[in-house]
Amino acid sequence: MNAFTPQLGLGFAEARPVALGTSLRAPLKPAQGPAIPVGRIQLVQLRFQSLLTARMRILFIAVIFTAVAAAALLRITWLGFAGSAPTQSSLADRLLPPRGEITDRNGAPLARAFPAYALWYDPDAMGDGGKPLVGEPSEIAAKLAAIFPDMDEAETARKLASGRGGYLRRRVLPEDANRVFELGEIALQFPQEPDRHYPQGSLAAHVLGYVVEQQGGKIGMEEVLEERLSDPTLRANPVALSIDVRVQGALEDELRRGMLATDALGAAGIVLDVDTGEIMAMASLPEFDPNVVGADGAPNVFNRATNGLYELGSTFKPLTVAAAIDAGVVRNLGRDWDATTVEVGNRRIRDLKPKGDTLNVPQALVYSSNTVTARVADKLGTERLQQMLVDLNMDQRPFIELPARGKPLWPQNPDNRHTNMVIGYGHSLAVTPLHLANAYAAMVNGGIWRPATLHKLDSADVPRGKRVFKASTSARMRQMLRMISIYGTGRSADAPGFRVGGKTGSAEKPGKGGYSQRKIISTFAAAFPMDRPRFVVVAMIDEPRGTVASSFQRTAAFNAAPVVGRLVPRIGPMLGVRPDAKRDVDISDLRYLVEKDK
């Protein structure tokens, strides 16, 4: 058996035989033999260098891989300790909108947030430095206008040609986004963003207001409830307002009908619960659509119901009479008062349509006598009349949650005798329609004034209010308000079975150089049913014109009162008041005072 041992040198030595029995641990001697060829030496060297290169490459790759792994590990560690925490969203975050919902008192949605699409123009979307659009800007604008008919084609073309990115449209429906996508323009993109939607459109716009992105709610309850609606812990629970969307729709419909029929400048209306102060409906026309409001705001945001200040004319006469009854100035309703022209210095107070030289108080209200009311106010005196107005909070902004609240305009010298007289029948003092609604509620509900509210109230949350009129005075006023609707200027508001009672008011608007005979405010303030008042209704028409629909008359009896006459039968059943021709307030002890001249 042969054994082999290597030959030390540049290569490997030839194998030589070893004698049997020789120890392998014995020192080896250099083999003696023929010389190794040079070519073979070079081949061995080349193989060694190739092996060394391969080992170096493997080592280099291992170092690179280790470095990348170390960098990734360091990045993960940094994100865990120094970077932002990963965004976590709970099930509630995924299911609930970013802003709370607003509903009416019955749960009907008025405002809600939802994820929506927008149409955004990105001129750098192509990324090649060339034209941002495949087609011409004018052609693309025309195609977009075909998808969105209300889009301004020329303005859109200008934006596309400008080369500047920006919104082309907000609130894009998914089906419309698909149609735009089919145009094949990469620069037209559809970012998804939260949006505020008003399912009822322009209904109750002045109550709700609107939301501007990154600015929050504006002008209405959206502004008032900003913190509440944005609170992550509360947005799951909708906020219920006091308004009834059905009553709101009927009020706006009838006001719009009255405004258009008389070619008026505007209109306002309120339906108020006399026992709680809750506003069932509030409207100001012309309205706006909160769904299409942009960062520049909206037109027609002025709220005539809470912010408009008007001299509301003869609607103040029942308040003056109520204060006089309370003070004992009017004790005998059958007493005849002088109804001739009142002269105070060089000023005169006349009746628009005189009904004789003398009138009793019920007649004065039925026929809307300025002269008798002025004399009652004069007898009452400035201190007691003003105290009644202060008790009704007519010296302060109306009590309501909305930010738009007008501060009443009092005359410079309310203690002047003539001024006191004209205040008694609704001139020289400008208040809002909401002031009037609150005052009438106190006059018919037993004498208790309560602040108005747009929040739905539980019975335990209804404020106690403050007494302004005696309960007996309130009962008398219910009788006389009902008589106005039966015999007087409010007859066009007398809805059969609903026992409406109220007072008209037609006042010239003040302007430069005095009052304008061509511009008036027509108002009807009413309550129903008068045997047990539940709701006050105020309808105001701003600058009505005499038209065929109003028998060419501009006074409240021909425009504001008919609005209430049509409205009450619509909203009564919605509010739990059903017509009943067998019931009415008892006016038997006063009827003869008005009917004696008929």
The model's pLDDT over 503-522, given as tens digits with 9 standing for 90+, comes to 999 999 988 878 888 899 99
Average pLDDT value for residue range 89-113: 83
Query: What whole-number distance in Å separates Cα of residue 521 and Cα of residue 555?
Result: 8
The whole-chain average pLDDT of the chain stands at 88
pLDDT tens per residue, range 261-320:
999 999 999 999 999 999 999 999 999 999 888 667 788 999 999 999 999 999 999 999
Residue 79, pLDDT > 60, answer no
- Per-residue pLDDT at 282: 98
- Per-residue pLDDT at 72: 77
Span between the terminal Cα atoms of the chain, in Å: 157
The least confident of 57-71, 99-113, 237-251, 374-388 is 57-71
Query: What whole-number distance in Å separates Cα of residue 135 and Cα of residue 161?
Result: 11
CA 554 to chain centre: 32
**Residue whose token pair is 């949605």:** 109
Average pLDDT value for residue range 402-421: 96
Residue 245, pLDDT > 90, answer yes
Phi, psi of 207 (to 5 degrees): -80, -45
Phi, psi of 430 (to 5 degrees): -105, 125
- Per-residue pLDDT at 89: 52
Strand, coil or helix: 307:
coil
- Per-residue pLDDT at 70: 84
Phi, psi of 570 (to 5 degrees): -80, -40
C-beta separation of 290 from 210 below 8 A: yes
CA 276 to chain centre: 22
**Residue whose token pair is 């017509």:** 579
pLDDT tens per residue, range 207-233:
999 998 778 899 999 999 999 999 988
Residues 321-346 as b or e (16 or more Cβ within 10 Å = b):
bbbbbbbebbeebeeebebeebebee
118's CB contacts (< 8 A; 6+ apart) are: 167, 169, 170, 171, 172, 190, 191, 192, 193
C-beta separation of 542 from 266 below 8 A: yes
